[in-house]
A = this chain, B = another copy of it.
Amino acid sequence: MRINIPETDQERIVIIGGGFAGFNLARKLARSPYQIVLIDRNNFHQFQPLFYQVAMAGLEPSSILFPLRKSFHRYNNVYIRVAEVENIDLEKRHLKTSLGVCNFDHLVIATGADTNFFGNEKIAERAFPMKSVSDALYLRNTILNDYEIALSTRDYDARQGLIDIVIVGGGPTGVEVAGALAEMRKNVLPKDYPELDCSEIDIYLIQSPPQLLKGMSEEASAKALEFLTGLGVKVILNNRVVDFDGEFVHMKDGTKIQSRKVIWAAGVTGSLVPGMPETSIARGNRLKVDRFCQVEGVDRIYAIGDIAYMEEEVYPEGHPQVAQVAIQQAKLLAENLKNKAAGKALLPFSYHDLGSMATIGRRLAVVDLPKWKFQGTFAWFVWLFVHLFSIIGSRNRLIVFINWVWNYAFYDQTLRLIIRTKAPWKKRNVES
C-alpha cells in the first residue's frame, strides 16, 4: 500500500522525526519549492529540556508539547503523518511506514537518540528512562504511587525500597532530577505525607566520571556538586551501576543500594532506522555525515541532530548531542536545500556553541557562556528565561510561566496526580 499523499511536480523531502532537528527543518522549508512530508510517531513536538519537570509534577505534559499540525496550518506544501518508520530502502528510494510506503527524492533522518542501557537487559527492563513525556509521566505516577504504598508498609527495609531513589548519570537530566526530587522532599512531601518520615527518603546520584556535568566548566561541575550536596543529595562519583535486580542497585565497587526505582540518564544511543549501510554508522549508533549533513556514501540522504555524527576541526569526536546543534543543523540544511533548488552553492556547517546550563533547585543553577561563567540566583533566572522563551507556542509559554511563578511562590508542585489511561491503547487496522 502506498501512503496517501498527492504526487506533485515538486521534489519530495521526507523528514523522519519531529524533534528539535526535524521540526525546525520542516518549519524552515515550509513555503520552499519542495513538497515536505514530516513523519513522527507522535502528533506533537516535544520540548525535551523540561521532561524532568513533568516527571517531578511541576508541569503538565501539554505545556511542553506542541501539536505538529497546528504549526503548519498555513503551509500547503507540508504533509504530516503520524506513523512508525519501519525501514529505509535506499535502492527504491522509499520508506516503509505503518501507513504504507512513502517514496522520497530527499530523505532527512532526524530520529534523535534513545536511552542507552549499555546492553544490560535487566536494567533496560526495570529502570526508568527519561526520553519522552510518556516516560516522564510514567515516572511521576510511579513515584507518587510508591509514596502511597509506603504509607501502608510497616517494614523499614521494604519502605526504604519504595521511597529511596537512585539516579544514574550526572549530566543535566540527572542533576536536574536529583535537585527537583530534593526540593520536593524538603517542601512538598512533609505536607503531603505527614505520616512519613521524610528524612528517611534518600536520593542518590551516581556518576562514573569524577565530576558532574561533564562537558561544562570546572566551576559549573563544582558548584553543581556543592548545590546538590547542600540539598541533601548523596552524590557518588567515580563509580558505576553494573546491575539492578529490582530490589538492589549493584555498584562496580561491590557495594549495593536498596531501591526499587532507578532513573536512567546515563547515556544515549542513536535511534537508527533499519536500512542504512553499516559503513555509514559511526560510534554511538550515529550516522556519519559530511559538513553538509549528507550521510556518507549515499546520495540525497541527510542526517541532522542527535543521530548525526559530524567531525569538525574543533569537534574531532563529533558534536555534543544537544538541542543547539540540532537547531543549527536544521537551519543550515534548510538553507542548503533551498540553495540546491535555486542552483546556488552549498554552505558547510560549523557549530556555534552558545553555552550550556543546568538548574539544580530554587535559585540554584549553573551557566557557562563562551566568555562568562556564573552560578546561583542570577544563573537560575537566566535558565528560566532561556527555557521559557525556547518553548513553542505562546499559550504554552504562559501556562509554564504561571506554573513556575506558582511553584516558586507557594513551594508547591501542584500536579501531584496519578492519572492512568484506563483502556489499553487499541490499534485499529482499517485498510490493509
Binary interface encoding of chain A residues 134-148 relative to chain B, with 1 for a CB under 8 A from any of its CBs, else 0: 110110011011101
Q: Tell me whether A192 and B153 are in contact in the complex, defined as CB-CB below 8 angstroms, given that A67-B414, A134-B421 are known contacts.
A: no
Give the Cβ gap from A100 to chain B, nearest Cβ, in Å: 6
Closest B-chain residue to A415, C-beta based? B62
Closest to A137 in B: B421
Q: Which residues of chain B have C-beta atoms less than 8 A from A194's C-beta?
A: 76
* A419 to B402 Cα, complex, angstroms: 22
Q: Is A161 an interface residue (CB 8 A)?
A: yes
The residues of B that contact A158 with a CB separation of less than 8 Å are: 430-431
Instruction: Type the 1/0 row for A344-359, where 1 means its CB is closer than 8 Å to any CB of B.
Output: 0000000000000000
Partner of A431, one of B154, B412, B431: B154
Interface-forming stretch among A216-224, A289-297, A393-401?
A393-401
Query: B residues within 8 A CB of A141?
Result: 421, 425
The yes or no answer to A193 lying at the interface (CB within 8 A) is yes
How long is the Cα–Cα vector from A152 to B155 in the complex, in angstroms?
55
**A424 CB to closest chain B CB, in angstroms?**
7
Task: Tell whether A406 pairs with B417 under 8 Å between CB atoms, given A4-B152, A152-B4, A153-B430.
Answer: no
Q: Are B162 and A419 in contact (CB under 8 A)?
A: no
CB neighbours of A430 from chain B (8 A) = 149, 153, 158, 161-162
Task: Give Cα A43 to B143, complex, Å.
Answer: 13
Q: Is A423 an interface residue (CB 8 A)?
A: yes
Give Cα A44–Cα B161 distance, bound, in whole angstroms: 25
C-alpha gap A152/B81 in the complex (Å):
9
| CB of A145 to closest CB in B, whole Å | 8
Would A416 and B60 count as touching, CB distance under 8 A? Answer: no
Answer whether residue A319 sits at the interface, using C-beta atoms and an 8 A cutoff: no
Query: 8 Å CB contacts to B: which residues of A76-90?
Result: 76, 79, 81-82
The answer to whether the Cβ of A133 comes within 8 Å of any Cβ in the partner chain is yes
A70 at the interface (CB under 8 A from B): yes
A69 pairs with B425, CB closer than 8 A: no
Identify 12 residue pairs between A and B in the complex whose beta-carbon atoms are under 8 Å apart, listed by A's number.
A43-B417, A60-B60, A69-B192, A73-B191, A73-B192, A100-B152, A138-B423, A152-B431, A162-B430, A260-B428, A402-B402, A420-B421
A99 contacts B by Cβ under 8 Å:
yes
Tell me the complex Cα distance, A137–B423, Å: 10
A398 nearest in chain B by CB position: B402
A149 to B146, CA, bound (A): 37
Does A273 lie at the interface of the complex (its beta carbon under 8 Å from any beta carbon of B)? no
Nearest B residue to A42 via CB reads B418
A4, B398: Cα distance in complex, Å: 42
A154 — nearest CB in chain B belongs to which residue?
Answer: B4
Find chain B residues with CB under 8 A from A43 CB: 144, 148, 416-418
The residue in chain B whose Cβ has the minimal distance to the Cβ of A82 is B148
A389-411 with Cβ < 8 A to chain B: 393, 395, 398-399, 402-403, 406
Whether A327 sits at the interface, judged by CB under 8 Å, is no
CA distance A62 to B162 in the complex (A): 25
Residue pair B153, A82 in contact (C-beta under 8 Å): no
Tell me, rounded to whole Å, the shortest Cβ–Cβ distance linking A140 to chain B. 10
Min CB distance, A242 to chain B, in Å? 23
Nearest chain B residue, comparing its CB with the CB of A128: B423
* A201 is an interface residue with CB less than 8 A from chain B: no
| Chain A 37-65 near chain B by CB (<8 Å), digits 1 or 0 | 00000111000000000000000111001
Q: Which residues of B contact A152 (CB under 8 A)?
A: 3-4, 81, 99-100, 431
Q: Is A422 an interface residue (CB 8 A)?
A: yes
Residues of B contacting A419 in the complex (Cβ-Cβ under 8 angstroms)? 61-62, 65, 133-134, 137
Minimum Cβ distance to chain B for residue A430 (Å) = 5
Residues of B within 8 Å of A142, CB to CB, are: 426
Q: Which of A111-149 contact B (CB under 8 A)?
A: 132-135, 137-138, 141-142, 144-146, 148-149
